Amino acid sequence: MSTQHAKDPLHGVTLEALLNTLVANYGWDKLAKEVNINCFKSDPSIKSSLKFLRRTPWARTEVETLYLNMLEERQERQERQESTGDDSPWANWQKKDH
């Protein structure tokens, strides 16, 4: 694996997997607000969205950018939790002596 691929968070991620992750994270309604395209607004489906995104480079770029932003936000959240040591709601309870 080259260094360039190791640094590219989209490497090895299919458009379908990317789209499924975004839908799971945001839902169709929020996704349609984030990326203003009809296939997310009117009777949305993975199949119709993939067809549109594969033929429309500007829309695919917007969706990929949203995915990268989502990954960055998750990473930042995880780093904050690790730095505070509060990685679960039960963190303080688990540290108590009984």
Give per-residue pLDDT as tens, 7-36: 888 889 999 999 999 999 999 999 999 999
Q: What is the spatial distance between Cα 36 and Cα 45, in angstroms, rounded to a whole number? A: 15
pTM: 0.75
Domains, in order of start, for the chain = 15-81 (1.10.720.30)
**86 pLDDT band (50/70/90 cuts)?**
low
Reduced to 3 states (helix: H, G, I; strand: E, B; else coil), residue 97 is coil
Does residue 70 have a pLDDT over 90?
yes
